[in-house]
Structure 1
Amino acid sequence: MDNDTILLQKLDKWNSDLARGLILNNVILSLYIVIGLLGNFIVILIYGFKMKGNKEERYFIPFLAIADLWASLVCASFGIAYNMMQAKFNNNDLCKAVWFFATFTTSFSIFLLFIIAVQRYLKICRPLGKQMTLKWKRFAMCLGIVIAFVLSTPMTYFYGLVSFTNEKEGIVGHRCSRLKSTNKAGSLIFGGIIVLIIISLIVCLIWFYTRIGYTIIILTMYNKKSKKQNIISSSEKPIQNSQLPNPPSLEHPCKTETGVHSVETDNNNLSCVAKSTIPTELNNRVGLKDSKATRAKPSTFKSSARRGKEQTNKRIVHKFTLMFMMITVIFLICYIPKVIIMLLEAGNPRFWEELSDSGRAGMLFVYRMFIINNITNPFIYAFLDTQFSREIRKVLKVCR
């Protein structure tokens, strides 16, 4: 038996040993694929084609589901292939292509979360200011695609096949990872830019949703206090218009074609809610700067039906905001460990080689936890969006 055959057999055995230690990791990645494909496909089907009305609140959900579907499929499939060929990954073009598509899909998903956070901030904290129109939403998504593409393209230059040495057996394998010999300074700068962008997005998302959460709490506390005062006043004597601070205005009544209070097909509806329910001093605290809207004007009270519609409108807005907030929290939990590992990897080129087999398996699981962000969203929709839950039940009944 010649020397090359012996080395090849040793390489096969080494690769098999490494892959055997990652069987559990492959099972988890397979579950990611199944759950991601099934869950996000259902979201695309229902939100994109089944559900009618309230398109404004649900506008980004189908696009986020498409990005999540591709991200979970590409990243999890690549993870399985990478685990099976820890020391025998020999297709350089496939390695570069997978890194490009994995970066592109995950980047676009992250940018979508950022766009959604901006939209929710404008809606909750600046309801009387400029909102994201359909034109701006489409422009923002196109811009996100362009940025994701620009950030993903260098991956084909800085990533490829890397030699992986087994000093004990005297053999050399290859794995798909960051190239060590190609422009080290440029690779380090590029990695630093990626980490900086992710950290910046994380900080921005935390800031946006902190402000949103604070505003919702203030509004909720005010509404409870106002409702309690109204109950007490009504039990003592008939309510007089002059006794209530900042009585609601009917100068711009809210109307919809269907008779149901629309969530925000335009700014007038939301402005009407803000004008009629938020006092002047509260407007100043949450950022409602419009002096005309915040000026108290004497008028008659709204009918109970109209007040009920406005309360329903606010509950829907707040519920969808909570839904997107939960999605963002899961994103933060899943991505922060990945950022930490990326920093460790950038600081130590032999980071993965120096890990033990069990340590590498655990680190790979943590490194790929970001895929959980791409498969959990359908469960959040089902939990918080009652209309989505109803549509799922209808689909299941038809399938039976």
Structure 2
Amino acid sequence: MSEPIDENTTYGTTLVSDSGDGITLEEINDAIAITHIGGAVFVGILMLIGFVGNLHVLLVYAFRTKPSNHRIFILCLGVLDMVTCSIGMPFILVDLRYPLMFYATAVCKILRFLNYFMCASSAFLLLVIATDRYRKICVPLGKQMSETMAKVSCGIAMAVAFAISWPAPVLYGYSIEHTNVGNITGVRCWTEERFKKTKYQAYFNFLLIFIVFGTFTVLCVLYSMIGAQIVRHKTFRSTVTNSKSLPLSTISHNSKDSGDTVATPLPSSEEEAEEETEMHEKKDVNSVTRDSRIRFNFILMKIPQKILAVGRKSRDVQSLASDNTSGENGNKKLSKEDMRTRRITLIMFVITVVFFGSFVPHLILKIVVLMKKNFLQTRSPAGLYLFNTFIWSFFINNMANPIIYGFCDKRFRKEIRSMYGRLFQILRCN
């Protein structure tokens, strides 16, 4: 969510003679542009891969998938990434080629704002996605985010991103750059002259860094809670699976809250179950019992009652309560739905990790430059090549999502194969 540090300052003293005899602005510009070759190649590769990949994402999820929150979120991220790859990255390439000859002030303002807005929108969308995943995994019986709510949440995320990014077109624009080569000066797309002696740019960058770390912290908390809940689900299922061989019978158990009759597996006699329940109520429920059968029966007696107290608000309650008598078909159906929820959660988690991971090299380089003022001036040409390459690492997230879908989403791979299969058939017929 930030731009590179002002890396071109005083390049004239390191790249060309400071006498200025016979040297033109174009020659100085070209000398500085050479140090940006690594960055230009890096950004260009990301741009091409991202454009092709996000085009496939938009085609598949817009026309080949059913409506869902998952689809809405992926389409929003895909549109943002596509705009960045088709508009934002080409602007950076132009800026790298003409670091001292960027005269289009209006274009500079618009595209600086666009890059900030796209990045901030992606970050806030990841917050919305994490909230939706948290509700699905940790509060499955509570109110879930509808498709309308998902669309409104995406709109709110973009509105917040707009409110945060509006200083960019004000702060950035026509910036005179002194080359330290005679009296030659260039023009950059950077902090406007009227704001160079103010601290507004510093405040803006501080706000962006605060938002990055704040968003990262919230996402870590949400996905930690999601991960812990998934582990608890696996532990409970393992307990149930290991206890299937125990002799059980099924009786009808009435819930006072719901009034429904639900088939629940119980011990061989109701009296025995009641005695075991009373015994466990006198003890610490969380203590480890030696008798696994008693513990299992206690779990089966208690959990359905707590769930049924919620009332008839969710179909999941009915499917869970009837799992013990519905046979393997019900178990397979529940497992399939559960696996789909976990798969989508995994995809969104990986997208989040890649998003913030792509900022790590960029932020490290910015911090180093801020802490060591002469860092860039003392770099060798090879060092400048490396700096000007990895400073653009945050663009990785704009091309990575289609690759993540390709590895993690079987449906996406299937639709891509189907799409190209039909295309090849059309070509053969022609």
- Range into which the TM-score falls when normalised by the shorter chain: 0.7 to 0.9
- In structure 2, the CA distance between the partners of 1:184 and 1:38, relative to structure 1 (3 Å rule), is same
What is the aligned partner in structure 2 of residue 88 from structure 1? 101
Separation in structure 2 between the aligned mates of residue 121 and residue 7 of structure 1, nearest angstrom: 65
What is the aligned partner in structure 1 of residue 25 from structure 2? 11
In structure 2, which of residues 380, 386, 395 is the aligned counterpart of residue 371 of structure 1? 395
Q: Does 1:205 align with 2:219?
A: yes
Separation in structure 1 between the aligned mates of residue 372 and residue 187 of structure 2, nearest angstrom: 18
List per-residue Cα deviations over 1:13-38 (Å, max 9, x = no partner): 12112222322322222221211111
What is the aligned partner in structure 1 of residue 80 from structure 2? 67
Q: How does 1:212-361 map to 2 (within 5 A)?
A: 212-230=226-244, 232-233=245-246, 237=247, 241-243=265-267, 244=297, 245-246=299-300, 268-272=314-318, 275-276=320-321, 301-342=325-366, 357-361=381-385
- In structure 2, the CA distance between the partners of 1:350 and 1:145, relative to structure 1 (3 Å rule), is farther
Determine helix, strand or coil for the equivalent of 2:71.
Answer: coil
Q: Does 1:362 align with 2:386?
A: yes
Q: Does 1:100 align with 2:113?
A: yes
Count how many residue pairs are aligned between Structure 1 and Structure 2.
356
**Counterpart contact for 1:188–1:346, Cα < 8 Å:** no
% identical aligned pairs: 24
Separation in structure 2 between the aligned mates of residue 129 and residue 8 of structure 1, nearest angstrom: 74
Deviates more, 1:15-24 or 1:385-394: 15-24
Q: Work out which of the two has the higher radius of gyration on C-alpha atoms and give 1 or 2.
A: 2
Separation in structure 2 between the aligned mates of residue 340 and residue 184 of structure 1, nearest angstrom: 25
Q: Could you tell me which runs of 5 or more consecutive residues in structure 2 were left unpaired when the two chains were aligned.
A: 1-19, 251-264, 268-296, 425-430
List per-residue Cα deviations over 1:136-165 (Å, max 9, x = no partner): 212211111211111222101111233333
What is the aligned partner in structure 2 of residue 263 from structure 1? none
Q: Does 1:41 align with 2:43?
A: no
List per-residue Cα deviations over 1:24-66 (Å, max 9, x = no partner): 322222221211111111111111111236x243331111111
**Counterpart contact for 2:35–2:388, Cα < 8 Å:** no
Paired residue type of 1:111: F
Determine helix, strand or coil for the equivalent of 2:66.
Answer: coil
Separation in structure 2 between the aligned mates of residue 87 and residue 226 of structure 1, nearest angstrom: 69
What is the aligned partner in structure 1 of residue 417 from structure 2? 393
Deviation at 1:101, TM superposition (A): 0.9
**Counterpart contact for 1:10–1:169, Cα < 8 Å:** no
What is the aligned partner in structure 1 of residue 35 from structure 2? 21
In structure 2, which of residues 184, 188, 193 is the aligned counterpart of residue 171 of structure 1? 184
Determine helix, strand or coil for the equivalent of 1:301.
Answer: helix
Deviation at 1:181, TM superposition (A): 4.3
**Counterpart contact for 2:38–2:389, Cα < 8 Å:** no
List per-residue Cα deviations over 1:166-185 (Å, max 9, x = no partner): 32555322222234641622
Deviation at 1:354, TM superposition (A): 6.9
Q: Does 1:115 align with 2:128?
A: yes
Determine helix, strand or coil for the equivalent of 1:119.
Answer: helix
Paired residue type of 1:61: I
In structure 2, which of residues 173, 190, 210 is the aligned counterpart of residue 196 of structure 1? 210
- In structure 2, the CA distance between the partners of 1:300 and 1:145, relative to structure 1 (3 Å rule), is closer
**Counterpart contact for 1:195–1:342, Cα < 8 Å:** no
What is the aligned partner in structure 2 of residue 127 from structure 1? 140
Determine helix, strand or coil for the equivalent of 1:95.
Answer: helix
Paired residue type of 1:155: A
TM-score by length of 2: 0.74
Separation in structure 1 between the aligned mates of residue 372 and residue 175 of structure 2, nearest angstrom: 15
Separation in structure 1 between the aligned mates of residue 375 and residue 168 of structure 2, nearest angstrom: 19
**Counterpart contact for 1:99–1:155, Cα < 8 Å:** yes
Deviates more, 1:238-247 or 1:190-199: 238-247
- In structure 2, the CA distance between the partners of 1:373 and 1:269, relative to structure 1 (3 Å rule), is farther
Determine helix, strand or coil for the equivalent of 1:184.
Answer: coil
Determine helix, strand or coil for the equivalent of 1:324.
Answer: helix
Separation in structure 1 between the aligned mates of residue 122 and residue 227 of structure 2, nearest angstrom: 22
Separation in structure 1 between the aligned mates of residue 316 and residue 396 of structure 2, nearest angstrom: 35
Determine helix, strand or coil for the equivalent of 2:190.
Answer: strand
Determine helix, strand or coil for the equivalent of 2:300.
Answer: coil
List per-residue Cα deviations over 1:269-292 (Å, max 9, x = no partner): 44556x55xxxxxxxxxxxxxxxx
Separation in structure 1 between the aligned mates of residue 374 and residue 161 of structure 2, nearest angstrom: 28
- In structure 2, the CA distance between the partners of 1:162 and 1:271, relative to structure 1 (3 Å rule), is farther
Q: Could you tell me which runs of 5 or more consecutive residues in structure 1 were left unpaired when the two chains were aligned.
A: 1-5, 254-266, 277-297
Determine helix, strand or coil for the equivalent of 1:161.
Answer: strand
